[in-house]
């Protein structure tokens, strides 16, 4: 090989490593920025089994890099604390036994400052690794470093979801951040966009990053359908509540109705009524309900019951993806620091033509689709094969990202998933109906 070609290859490799390291460090900095205002006491609480303490998230994302990159690929790496593997393994059977999830809030140790030292230790080791790894080792490790960055972004959203729940059960109702100047906005008139259906393709394609659950790309048959131009608003959902929606079993799936009765649900999570006035708890404390904001913190059961009451249905994930395919991935994401859905979608670039608003950001949108493997799906080999595939049962797919999702995390093909009774995610819905 000519010397000039070798030099080119070396330059390309150095540039690739620099980019990978910069992405890694940016993800790490963002986690630390999001948690900078939380006290050690805030960071230690687990308010329900689904919630993890903030410091657990910070340590677990670090364990991911330590376990799947440094221990595996760097023979010179020195483990920070051998006991952490048991505490901060989330659900990887192949990575050994682990501390029970509902007991993460019982861990007063390691303290927050020790977790910070753990992060620094792994961060420095990753920088060294990026500089010193051989070409062969780097080639195998690079996809896992990229996965680790996206994994950390997922936990950034969980940090915000979880601290909101932690603060919501404190009678002082602490605010995660000061209220932000908020333009009240109005929800535009609900319009409809028609889609012809037919044989379409969904799923990720190309060489850019995606999670394995977005692949393989495959064909789906769709009947003609319509999709609402914006998510359902709080005001519209209030109509369902005031019409006795939570007291009428005819709108509910059997499991949903059983959950309503068992849990005593009368409104979405974080809604509160006092003297006839509704308020909602947000990451900026309690606020008066804005009827124009997208509805948030409803379970799949509530989303589905609302559609029955409205005489519509939820879109399938394939319908949602086809509709979103031409929509720019832009919106009210975590980077804007509102951390709450907004009612600011009033623009119609095509004059009076209906356009899809808020497909991305604000609220995750429940779909009618169960979370299943796509045809011919194969989980990755090794421990990271446990990342998505083993959860493909008893959960429903959500699309589009929310006000607590990092902007660079989401795509039209991105599949989020939660059990149908989960309400602490920033989840709302958009209506669909059959056409023709
Ligand atoms: Fe994780």
Cis bond leading into 216, ω under 30°?
Answer: yes
Judge whether residue 185 has pLDDT over 90. Answer: no
Q: For residue 16, report the distance from its CA to the centre of ligand 1, in Å.
A: 25
Q: For residue 352, report the distance from its CA to the centre of ligand 1, in Å.
A: 44
Closest CA to 158 of 26, 89, 303, 58: 58
Give residue 369's pLDDT.
98
Q: For residue 269, report the distance from its CA to the centre of ligand 1, in Å.
A: 24
Cβ-contact 306, 240 below 8 angstroms: yes
Q: For residue 44, report the distance from its CA to the centre of ligand 1, in Å.
A: 17
Q: Give percent of the chain with pLDDT exceeding 90.
A: 86
Q: Read off the pLDDT of each residue in 183-194 and give the average, rounded to a whole number.
A: 80
| Span 346-383, pLDDT tens digits | 555 556 788 999 999 999 999 999 999 999 999 887 77
Residue 264 Ramachandran class (φ > 0 left, ψ -120 to 50 alpha, else beta): left
Judge whether residue 273 has pLDDT over 80. Answer: yes
Q: For residue 312, report the distance from its CA to the centre of ligand 1, in Å.
A: 36
Q: Give percent of the chain with pLDDT exceeding 70.
A: 94
Q: For residue 93, report the distance from its CA to the centre of ligand 1, in Å.
A: 13
pLDDT band for position 410 (cuts 50, 70, 90): very high
Q: For residue 61, report the distance from its CA to the centre of ligand 1, in Å.
A: 6
Q: For residue 377, report the distance from its CA to the centre of ligand 1, in Å.
A: 21
pTM: 0.95
Cβ-contact 80, 72 below 8 angstroms: no
Q: For residue 159, report the distance from its CA to the centre of ligand 1, in Å.
A: 11
Q: For residue 348, report the distance from its CA to the centre of ligand 1, in Å.
A: 39
Give residue 125's pLDDT.
98
Tokens standing for residue 405: 């999702």
Residue 279: strand, helix, or coil: strand
Q: For residue 154, report the distance from its CA to the centre of ligand 1, in Å.
A: 8
Q: For residue 104, report the distance from its CA to the centre of ligand 1, in Å.
A: 14
Judge whether residue 12 has pLDDT over 70. Answer: no
Q: Read off the pLDDT of each residue in 120-145 and give the average, rounded to a whole number.
A: 97
Judge whether residue 183 has pLDDT over 60. Answer: no
pLDDT band for position 41 (cuts 50, 70, 90): very high
Q: For residue 88, report the distance from its CA to the centre of ligand 1, in Å.
A: 9
Q: For residue 324, report the distance from its CA to the centre of ligand 1, in Å.
A: 27
Q: For residue 90, report the distance from its CA to the centre of ligand 1, in Å.
A: 6
CA distance 283 to 164: 6
Q: Which of 65-69, 132-136, 179-183, 386-390 has the lowest mean pLDDT?
A: 179-183
Q: For residue 287, report the distance from its CA to the centre of ligand 1, in Å.
A: 31
| Span 229-250, pLDDT tens digits | 999 999 999 999 999 999 999 9
């Amino acid at each position: 090989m000519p010397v000039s070609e070798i030099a080119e290859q070396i330059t390309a490799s150095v540039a690739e490593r620099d980019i990978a390291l910069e992405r890694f460090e940016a993800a790490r900095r963002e986690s630390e920025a999001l948690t900078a205002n939380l006290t050690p006491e805030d960071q230690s609480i687990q308010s329900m089994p689904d919630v993890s303490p903030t410091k657990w998230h910070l340590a677990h994302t670090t364990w991911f890099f330590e376990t799947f990159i440094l221990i595996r690929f760097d023979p010179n790496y020195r483990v920070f604390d051998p006991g952490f593997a048991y505490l901060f393994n989330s659900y990887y059977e192949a990575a050994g036994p682990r501390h029970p999830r509902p007991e993460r809030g019982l861990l007063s140790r390691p303290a927050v400052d020790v977790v910070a030292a753990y992060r620094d230790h792994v961060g420095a080791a990753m920088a060294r690794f990026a500089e010193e790894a051989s070409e062969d080792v780097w080639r195998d490790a690079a996809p896992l470093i990229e996965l680790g960055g996206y994994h950390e972004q997922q936990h950034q959203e969980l940090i915000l979801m979880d601290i909101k729940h932690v603060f919501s059960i404190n009678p002082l109702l602490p605010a995660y951040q000061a209220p932000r100047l908020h333009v009240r906005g109005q929800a535009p008139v609900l319009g409809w966009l028609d889609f012809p259906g037919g044989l379409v393709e969904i799923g990720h394609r190309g060489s850019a990053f995606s999670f394995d659950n977005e692949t393989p790309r495959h064909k789906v048959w769709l009947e003609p359908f319509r999709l609402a131009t914006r998510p359902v608003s709080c005001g519209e959902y209030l109509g369902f509540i005031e019409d006795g929606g939570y007291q009428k079993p005819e709108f509910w799936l059997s499991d949903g109705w059983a959950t309503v009765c068992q849990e005593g649900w009368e409104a979405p999570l974080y809604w509160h009524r006092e003297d006839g006035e509704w308020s909602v708890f947000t990451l900026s404390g309690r606020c008066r309900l804005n009827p124009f904001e997208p509805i948030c913190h409803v379970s799949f059961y509530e989303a589905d019951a609302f559609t029955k009451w409205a005489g519509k249905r939820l879109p399938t994930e394939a319908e949602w993806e086809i509709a979103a395919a031409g929509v720019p991935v832009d919106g009210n994401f975590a980077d804007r620091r509102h951390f709450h859905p907004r009612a600011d979608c009033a623009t119609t670039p095509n004059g009076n033509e209906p356009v899809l608003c808020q497909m991305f950001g604000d609220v995750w949108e429940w779909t009618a689709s169960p979370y299943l493997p796509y045809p011919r799906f194969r989980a990755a080999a090794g421990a990271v094969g446990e990342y998505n595939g083993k959860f493909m049962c008893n959960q429903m797919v959500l699309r589009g990202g929310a006000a607590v999702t990092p902007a660079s995390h989401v795509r039209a093909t991105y599949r989020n998933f939660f059990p149908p009774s989960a309400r602490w995610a920033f989840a709302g819905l958009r209506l669909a109906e059959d056409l023709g």
